[in-house]
Amino acid sequence: MPTNHNGPGGAGGLPLPRRAGEDGTMVTVTNISQPTLPKALRDRVDECGFFPELVEDSVSMAVGDETIVDFLVQHEATVGAEGIIRHLTVLVLTPGRLIVSHTDEETDARGKDTAVTTSESVPLRLLGVITVSRAVTHPEHYGRSDSAVTETWLTLTWNAVRRLQVVPAHCGDPSCTADHGFDGEAVGEDITIRMSPAADGAENVQRLVRFASTLQRLAHGQGAG
């Protein structure tokens, strides 16, 4: 049977939080758990089969006790030098924030499989342009059976973090060898979610469009305030 090394305190022997009781004395809080995510979100994460307990715990910590207005989940697999690499993105919309959670699988220096999960909290007031793009076959017949949306992508930008891209400057003369210094551009943080019926299923593509519409309306309302 496993041995509990936490001792009388919390994890790692740290003391548990305390609060004032009704009579003013301090009592130890022993039942601490993350808020439960909506069943629909947990089911979607579970369907992906990519470290669901880790992903759900990470998202739950970021959301806290806020109300979840909508969510979007995408599971991707890319082929790299080390084989197939999986990545899971979870976007959660609350009344005041956009939670962006990324989980990646990696291999450490000893060759053991690890996972890195990151959650970013973006206030809606910092969101910039929200773009929804669609690729359509036979657009002249849109709405008919021989026309279809083959890919949809959502692009978000925000101003919480900006990165500087610096490149050598050019004058436009291909024969010029003079040093023209550098050009720089401050680029805001962004994310693009691409989905297609073939790769992600029609239902998930529809969810992406609904999520984007809800986010656009809510972010616009925040900006107007």
Q: Determine the structural domain holding residue 99 and report its residue range.
A: 33-123
Interval 159-165 mean pLDDT: 55
Same domain as 135, residue 118: no
Count of domains for the chain: 2
- Quick: pLDDT tens for 164-192: 555 677 777 777 777 766 665 545 568 99
Same domain, 134 and 211: yes
Domain boundary among 86, 108, 123: 123
Is residue 60 domain-shared with residue 79, that is, in the same domain? yes
Helices (H), the chain: 39-48, 52-63, 197-200, 202-224
- State the number of CA atoms in the 13 A half-sphere of 126 facing the CB: 16
Tell me whether residue 23 is in a domain: no
Verify that 63 and 135 share a domain, yes or no: no
The DSSP secondary structure of 15-47, one letter per residue, reads PPPEEE-TTS-EEE-----PPPPPHHHHHHHHH
Mean pLDDT of the chain: 80
What's residue 122's pLDDT? 93
pLDDT of residue 158: 87
Please tell me whether residues 86 and 40 are part of one structural domain.
Answer: yes
pTM: 0.71
Instruction: Note whether residue 90 is domain-resident.
Output: yes
Reference 219, options 111, 90, 69; nearest CA is 69
Residue ending a domain, among 107, 123, 139, is 123
Of the ranges 12-16, 63-67, 148-152, which one carries the lowest mean pLDDT score?
Answer: 12-16
118 and 141 share one domain: no
21: in domain: no
Rounded CA gap, 95 and 109, in Å? Answer: 41
Using 50, 70 and 90 to split pLDDT, how confident is the model at 106? confident
Residue 213 falls inside a structural domain: yes
Residue 165 domain-assigned (yes or no)? yes
Task: Give the pLDDT confidence score for residue 223 in this predicted structure.
Answer: 45
pLDDT digits (tens, 9 = 90+) for 47-103: 999 999 999 999 999 999 999 999 999 999 877 776 778 999 999 999 999 999 999
Same domain for 111 and 167?
Answer: no
> 71 pairs with which residues across the strands?
92
Between 167 and 23, the more confident residue is: 167
Domain boundary among 123, 142, 161: 123
Could you tell me which residue, 13 or 55, shows the higher pLDDT?
55
Flag whether 7 is in a domain: no
Do 69 and 151 reside in the same domain of the chain? no
Q: Give me the helix-helix angle, 39-48 and 52-63, nearest 10°.
A: 140
